[in-house]
Amino acid sequence: MAVKSFKYVIVGGGVSAGYAAREFAKQGVKPGELAIISKEAVAPYERPALSKAYLFPESPARLPGFHVCVGSGGERLLPEWYKEKGIELILSTEIVKADLAAKTLISAAGETFNYQILIIATGSSVIRLTDFGVQGADAKNIYYLREVDDADKLVEAIKAKKNGKVVIVGGGYIGLELSAVMKINNLDVSMVYPEPWCMPRLFTADIAAFYEGFYKNKGIQIIKGTVAVGFTADSNGEVKEVKLKDGRVLEADIVVVGVGGRPLTTLFKGQVEEEKGGIKTDSFFKTSVPNVYAVGDVATFPLKLYKELRRVEHVDHARKSAEQAAKAIKASEEGKTIEEYDYLPFFYSRSFDLLWQFYGDNVGDTVIFGDNNPESPKPKFGSYWIKDGKVLGAFLEGGTPEENKAIAKVARVQPPVENLDVLSKEGLSFACKI
């Protein structure tokens, strides 16, 4: 088979790949120098759309509507854009072997790709219940959501099971966003998760109580403190019941599992330094191997603000780390330097008519402020995280763009706080005056 050679290769075709390509184009990449190799069949797109507007019953989002870089207010990069820029999009191509010493990648079909500089942007894979040998987890109509193909299958299932019963396994981002969208599709929704409250990695019990109350008011059944241990299927092999560890059995026409992801680093095991489940990089996303960079979910990088190495799974970091790596590569070729990556952790989610944003670090004591009554017609509330007398994190539900900017500034500046009761009473006005 023919060997293809490129100056730059991005392996992985997700959000990071699209944003890196745009930055390379800005920096003046020459036609034929850059290739993106993706196992997906479509050009890079904004993945968060899949658990939101893609599944709406009315005017759903569809490609080419949400190709990158529309998610951050930029120009939409259609497949034609890559052609115009001389960037080769090598789609439906899975890389099965990477030899970093020889600077080669080999695809499942046996093609060889040579590169001078590699950007690893392989992202995460979903954790499947079949990985744990859960009984009956290979039944039909048990879905996971990671790629546009997964979302298409889910759309078909929603159409086929009108007014049916859906069980959502998991209480994180995917669980909360999909429970909302399934309810909007008039399905009967139950959510099951083992933790004492939803989104436990970020939410406090107070914050979670609002969302759980809000979801209950929408008619979503929430079952906490237990897990799915088995599934029964009908004679067609379609899921019919979900068996829970606490002995309960839930009827189900559709099951969606959202129990987290794993960074896809297997191709590079033993060839590159790893830390905290990801590939260790510096502030320019350079790995321990010369001319190899890692961005997005797979990168464990120095978080300057907190003086420690972290891995961050979020679309915002996927975009920004990719841009940083492309800038760093071009700068080093020209003998220039760029600023170190100085990332402020940022997370957000949309469901029903709710929208929250969080900035900073969720460590230390917390105070809650505002109206967090799930019955309120327009709830608006937030929380601060305080450690060593400084505000390190800030959360806001229902904020305006200006208010969200204010809480971001608080998390960045880390202002001192003397009295938590006063902070709770001041609430949002504390952030707005920083």
For residues 252-266, give the mean pLDDT: 97
| Structure confidence by residue, pLDDT tens digits, 214-256 | 999 999 999 999 999 999 999 999 999 999 999 999 999 999 9
Q: Measuring CA to CA, which residue among 333, 323, 299 is closest to residue 22? A: 323
pLDDT tens per residue, range 420-434: 999 999 999 999 998
Which 3 state secondary structure label does DSSP give 178? Answer: helix
Q: Do residues 351 and 180 touch, judged by C-beta distance below 8 A?
A: yes
Average pLDDT, the chain: 97
CA distance 428 to 431: 5
Q: Give the mean model confidence (pLDDT) for residues 11-16.
A: 98
Question: What pairing do the DSSP bridges indicate for beta strands 249-251 and 346-351?
Answer: unpaired
pLDDT at position 192, please?
A: 98
Q: Which of the four pLDDT bands, split at 50, 70 and 90, describes residue 95? A: very high
pLDDT at 175: 97
User: Domains in the chain, ordered, with CATH?
Assistant: 3-125+262-333 (3.50.50.60), 129-259 (3.50.50.60), 353-432 (3.30.390.30)
Angstrom distances, CA of residue 350 to CA of 150, 156, 221, 296, 354:
20, 23, 19, 21, 6
**pLDDT for res 394:** 98
Alpha helices for 161-204 (secondary structure H): 173-184
Per residue in 358-378, pLDDT (tens digit) is: 999 999 999 999 999 999 999
Chain center to CA of 370? 28
**Could you report the per-residue pLDDT of 307-361, keeping only the tens digit for each?**
999 999 999 999 999 999 999 999 999 999 999 999 999 999 999 999 999 999 9
pLDDT at 1: 74
**Is residue 2 predicted with pLDDT exceeding 90?**
no
Whether the Cβ atoms of residue 254 and residue 81 lie closer than 8 Å to each other: no
**pLDDT at 174 > cutoff 90:** yes
Q: How confident is the model at residue 167 (pLDDT cuts 50, 70, 90)?
A: very high
Query: pLDDT of 48-74, one tens digit each?
Result: 999 999 999 999 999 999 999 999 999
Per-residue pLDDT tens for 387-413?
999 999 999 999 999 999 999 999 999
CA trace torsion 94, 35, 86, 42 (10° rounding) = 30
